Amino acid sequence: MRITLKHARAATSVSRLCASVLILGFAAASPANADTPTAPLTKEELAKSWRDMAGLPDFWQGTWQSISPIPDDFPQEPEYTQSALDYMKTYKPTADSPFANCKPLGLPFVMNIGGMPMKFFQSPGMIALYIESSGMTRFIHTDGRQHSAQPNPSFLGESVAHWEGDTLVVDSIGFEPDTLFQIAKLKEKNLKQGDFNPMSGVVFAPHGPNLRIVERMNLIDFNTLESQTTVYDDSVFKRPVTLAARRFLRGVERRNEPQEWACTDNRDYLDPATGKLQYNVKDKAISR
């Protein structure tokens, strides 16, 4: 097709129109009361911030690996809503698990995977937590802010935190609908022959729009971190559910350093029918 001057002018007009729409879109997306840029911290203010952080419990040296069972335990049987009970009656472990097709893990399950470390990093006003088991990083705001009125949904949610003595209290909301959310464990008798579930009958379910997760993390001793998680979701539980406390061991050697991880490198599963390791099989690809 021959490009004429008329075509070129039309293309230019369309490009300008698209650019204008993008600019207007960005302007519309920016809240009218957005925070204005502030002056950088002075050397004295920055030094004080680091001195203050130096007095916090030492989550920072080395890495941490979970030593608790991967599935969450419920010290008391949760009181479920009727919709949750109905969901569990028809739950299919393989087809309904968000593990399939390499969907990202989400809270609180992403913290549970043993065998691969996680690493805390601190900076003024924020803690970053890299989790190797999913190749994901949590950004935990410690600058005193409140939750956004309408947080941008994500698999790890929007996290704000504060210190209560030596305990880091992390409050997270704003989760993607597909986040990996464990609500129960299936009894072995409820597993049908041929079902493959690497989590021994764990039930993953959709969560409601008001899902909120509160974690309380503290050091038992230099080598042991404990985390207590409470889950709020009125679409699944009739009242808040506190999970069994999880423990993590510190590793300080080079072999404990976190590595890059990608689900595309781990799309295989052990076929229960043949006992053979299969790769990238549709609807049965389970990250390991």
Q: What pLDDT score does 108 carry? A: 85
Q: What pLDDT score does 278 carry? A: 58
Q: What pLDDT score does 53 carry? A: 81
> Which is more confident, 266 or 275?
275
Taking residues 97-104, report their average pLDDT: 66
Residue 19 — very low, low, confident or very high, per pLDDT cuts 50/70/90?
Answer: very low
Q: pLDDT tens-digit profile of 108-129?
A: 888 887 778 999 999 999 999 9
Rounded to a whole number of angstroms, the distance between the first and last alpha carbons of the chain is: 51
Residue 28 clears pLDDT 80, i.e. is over it: no
Residue 101 — very low, low, confident or very high, per pLDDT cuts 50/70/90?
Answer: low
* Most confidently predicted of 68-72, 98-102, 230-234, 282-286: 230-234
> Which is more confident, 35 or 71?
71
Q: Which residues contact 135 (CB under 8 A, 6 or more apart)?
A: 260, 261, 262, 263
Q: What pLDDT score does 187 carry? A: 55
Long-range own/partner contacts, residues 279-285 (CB < 8 A, 24 or more apart): 283/94, 283/95, 283/100, 284/94, 284/100, 284/196, 285/100, 285/101, 285/102
Short-list 21, 72, 43, 116, CA closest to 205: 72
Residue 200 clears pLDDT 70, i.e. is over it: no
Residue keyed to tokens 């889950």: 231
Taking residues 56-83, report their average pLDDT: 91
- Please name the amino acid found at residue 180: L
Q: pLDDT tens-digit profile of 182-196?
A: 888 655 544 454 444
> Which is more confident, 34 or 229?
229
The domain locations on the chain are 51-279
Residue 100 — very low, low, confident or very high, per pLDDT cuts 50/70/90?
Answer: low
Residue 205 clears pLDDT 80, i.e. is over it: yes
Residue 232 — very low, low, confident or very high, per pLDDT cuts 50/70/90?
Answer: very high
Task: Compute the half-sphere exposure of residue 149: CA atoms within 13 Å on the CB side of its CA.
Answer: 3
Handedness of CA 27, 29, 33, 37 (dihedral sign): negative
> Which is more confident, 187 or 204?
204
Please state whether beta strands 136-141 and 241-242 pair in parallel, antiparallel, or not at all (unpaired). Answer: unpaired
Residue 136 clears pLDDT 60, i.e. is over it: yes
